[in-house]
Amino acid sequence: MLEKILTNTVQEFSTSGADYRLHYAWHTRQSAFDETIDYDALVLETGLMFYEEVGLRELVNNEQYRLVVGKTLIRNAVSDKVTPLFYTDVPPARHLRSKIMTLEAACSTLPLVASILYLPYTLPFALPVMVGCLPLFSGYGDRCNKAIAYLNMSRMYDSSAYRSAVTAQKIEEFIVPELTARLGRRPLVYIEFGAAHCDIEPYLKHPSLRHASMRAHQYWFPLLDYSYVSKVCELRPKGAPEPKHLESIVGRHDEPSIGITSRGGDEYTLSVPPAPDALVVPWRRIEYQMATKCL
């Protein structure tokens, strides 16, 4: 039951620069997706993967992203609207990637164990670990979801909090201005991340909170690859108009093609590699380096 509720939880909120839809998801389950949402960009969690390892073919074969990315590819192929995909995550340090889950579990569990041994004096140290389970109960109403998102910020020492804060910073300071310049209006950004990142909402709304989290992690949490804190990656149709922040581009690469075949009406299927009768829309990967680091 919790899985069904969480899979369909989409938070709607706004900041001064953009409107957002934040979907909490299970990484091992296909995400639900409302096709009626007229979103202008899709921001995806890349988790343990480096940007260069996650292409269109990996996304359409990923259980969580299969539907949302597939629908986005089809939308770009059959309509005039350009809807790009963005990566903003911070991957683990390369030499620690195979051990990152164990290290994170230890960093999250040890404070809880130590706190229980010395209760009640150390209860405040145990609470942040305990609230990490709260996102499982998202979906019982907007007030409940907002409360869980803010309570989850007590896990600020966790690397997932840093990744949420950096994602919020990159979206608000780079992606939203870029989309606004392209569209000439306020954009709507759809964010597809795991449930542990429900704190993205308060980090997007409150710059001071995300800045505090980012400053704390730059000194004492060396599990992540900090060369990615100022990087943004965009996947977009190859024939789309040029980005506005040309000075920030540090790389361009063509993506392996995905085939899109009509099944009649509004039904389409994807094929990897493209089927002989499929429509093929070339895509390109663009890598940006932000002028200021998320620290």
Predicted local distance difference test score (pLDDT) of residue 118: 54
What pLDDT is stored for residue 289 in this prediction? Answer: 94
Tell me the pairing of strands 85-87 and 231-237. antiparallel
Contact 155, 195 (CB under 8 A): no
Question: What span, in angstroms and rounded, lies between the C-alpha atoms of 225 and 48?
Answer: 10
Q: What is the predicted pLDDT for the residue at 180?
A: 97
Q: Which of 241, 246, 145, 244 is nearest to 199 (CA)?
A: 145
Is the separation of the CB atoms in 163 and 90 below 8 Å?
yes
Q: Report pLDDT for 4.
A: 46
- Helix (H, G, I), strand (E, B), or coil: what is residue 280? strand
Domain range annotation of the chain: 2-256+283-289
- Identify the burial level of 255 via C-beta atoms within 10 angstroms of its C-beta, where 0-12 means exposed, 13-18 middle and 19 or more buried: middle
pLDDT at 273: 85
Question: Quick one: pLDDT at residue 1?
Answer: 43
Instruction: Write down the pTM of the prediction.
Output: 0.84
pLDDT at 37: 86
- CA 73-49-65 angle, to 5 degrees, is 30
Residue 285 belongs to what H/E stretch?
strand 283-289
The one-digit pLDDT tens for each residue of the chain (295 residues) are 444 444 457 889 999 999 999 987 776 666 667 777 899 999 999 988 899 999 999 998 888 888 889 899 999 988 888 999 999 999 888 777 666 555 555 555 555 555 555 555 555 555 555 555 556 555 555 666 666 666 666 667 677 888 999 999 999 999 999 999 999 999 999 999 887 788 899 999 999 989 988 887 766 567 788 889 899 999 999 888 899 988 899 999 999 889 998 887 778 888 888 888 898 889 999 999 997 665 5
Q: How high is the pLDDT of residue 204?
A: 96
